[in-house]
Amino acid sequence: MSTRTTLTLDDDVADRLAREARRTGQTYRAVVNSALRRGLEAPPAVEPFRVRASPMGLRPGIDLDDIEGLLDRLDGPLRR
Protein backbone atom coordinates (compact mmCIF):
# COMPACT_ATOMS: atom_id res chain seq x y z
CA MET A 1 0.00 0.00 0.00
CA SER A 2 1.23 3.50 -0.69
CA THR A 3 0.20 6.88 0.65
CA ARG A 4 -0.13 9.86 -1.62
CA THR A 5 1.13 13.10 -0.08
CA THR A 6 2.42 16.50 -1.07
CA LEU A 7 5.90 17.57 -0.01
CA THR A 8 7.55 20.92 -0.46
CA LEU A 9 11.22 20.30 -1.21
CA ASP A 10 13.98 22.85 -1.19
CA ASP A 11 15.23 23.55 -4.70
CA ASP A 12 18.66 22.04 -4.08
CA VAL A 13 17.12 18.81 -2.76
CA ALA A 14 14.71 18.53 -5.68
CA ASP A 15 17.59 19.11 -8.12
CA ARG A 16 19.69 16.38 -6.51
CA LEU A 17 16.77 13.95 -6.58
CA ALA A 18 16.09 14.72 -10.25
CA ARG A 19 19.78 14.26 -11.15
CA GLU A 20 19.83 10.93 -9.32
CA ALA A 21 16.68 9.80 -11.15
CA ARG A 22 18.28 10.67 -14.51
CA ARG A 23 21.58 9.04 -13.54
CA THR A 24 20.03 5.77 -12.40
CA GLY A 25 17.09 5.62 -14.81
CA GLN A 26 14.71 5.22 -11.86
CA THR A 27 11.52 7.19 -11.42
CA TYR A 28 11.57 10.31 -9.29
CA ARG A 29 9.22 8.54 -6.87
CA ALA A 30 11.58 5.56 -6.52
CA VAL A 31 14.56 7.82 -5.87
CA VAL A 32 12.67 9.82 -3.22
CA ASN A 33 11.47 6.64 -1.47
CA SER A 34 14.96 5.13 -1.54
CA ALA A 35 16.53 8.30 -0.12
CA LEU A 36 13.92 8.49 2.64
CA ARG A 37 14.42 4.82 3.55
CA ARG A 38 18.20 5.28 3.80
CA GLY A 39 17.74 8.40 5.90
CA LEU A 40 15.33 6.70 8.28
CA GLU A 41 17.51 3.65 8.91
CA ALA A 42 19.24 3.45 12.25
CA PRO A 43 22.64 5.15 12.10
CA PRO A 44 25.59 2.79 12.08
CA ALA A 45 27.07 2.08 15.48
CA VAL A 46 30.16 4.19 15.95
CA GLU A 47 32.78 2.92 18.30
CA PRO A 48 33.60 5.55 20.93
CA PHE A 49 36.94 7.30 20.67
CA ARG A 50 39.46 5.94 23.14
CA VAL A 51 42.77 7.42 24.22
CA ARG A 52 45.56 4.97 24.80
CA ALA A 53 47.62 6.32 27.67
CA SER A 54 51.30 5.58 27.92
CA PRO A 55 53.27 5.74 31.14
CA MET A 56 55.63 8.68 30.85
CA GLY A 57 57.26 8.66 34.25
CA LEU A 58 58.70 11.73 35.96
CA ARG A 59 61.91 13.54 35.23
CA PRO A 60 64.40 13.63 38.06
CA GLY A 61 64.25 16.84 40.05
CA ILE A 62 60.58 17.66 39.27
CA ASP A 63 58.35 17.95 42.31
CA LEU A 64 54.64 17.93 41.41
CA ASP A 65 53.80 19.37 44.82
CA ASP A 66 55.80 22.57 44.06
CA ILE A 67 53.45 24.44 41.70
CA GLU A 68 55.53 27.64 41.69
CA GLY A 69 58.65 25.65 40.82
CA LEU A 70 56.84 23.85 37.99
CA LEU A 71 55.55 27.12 36.55
CA ASP A 72 59.04 28.64 36.73
CA ARG A 73 60.44 25.63 34.84
CA LEU A 74 57.71 25.80 32.19
CA ASP A 75 57.38 29.55 31.66
CA GLY A 76 60.63 30.87 33.10
CA PRO A 77 61.19 33.01 36.17
CA LEU A 78 59.87 36.16 34.39
CA ARG A 79 56.33 34.74 34.08
CA ARG A 80 55.01 36.88 36.94
Other CB atoms closer than 10 Å to residue 31's CB: what's the count? 19
Start-end of H helices in 25-77: 28-40, 67-75
Asked if residue 20 is part of any domain, the answer here is yes
Q: What digits encode the pLDDT tens for the residues 42-71? A: 787 888 999 998 888 878 888 889 888 888
Asked if residue 78 is part of any domain, the answer here is no
Asked if residue 66 is part of any domain, the answer here is no
Average pLDDT over residues 34-39: 94
Asked if residue 47 is part of any domain, the answer here is no
Q: What average pLDDT does the chain have? A: 90
Rg of the chain (C-alpha set):
30
**pLDDT at residue 79 above 80?**
no
Nearest by Cα to 29 from 39, 38, 18: 18
Tally of domains within the chain: 1
Q: Please, what sign has the CA dihedral across residues 27, 28, 33, 36?
A: positive
Domain span including residue 21: 11-40
How confident is the model at residue 61, as a pLDDT? 80
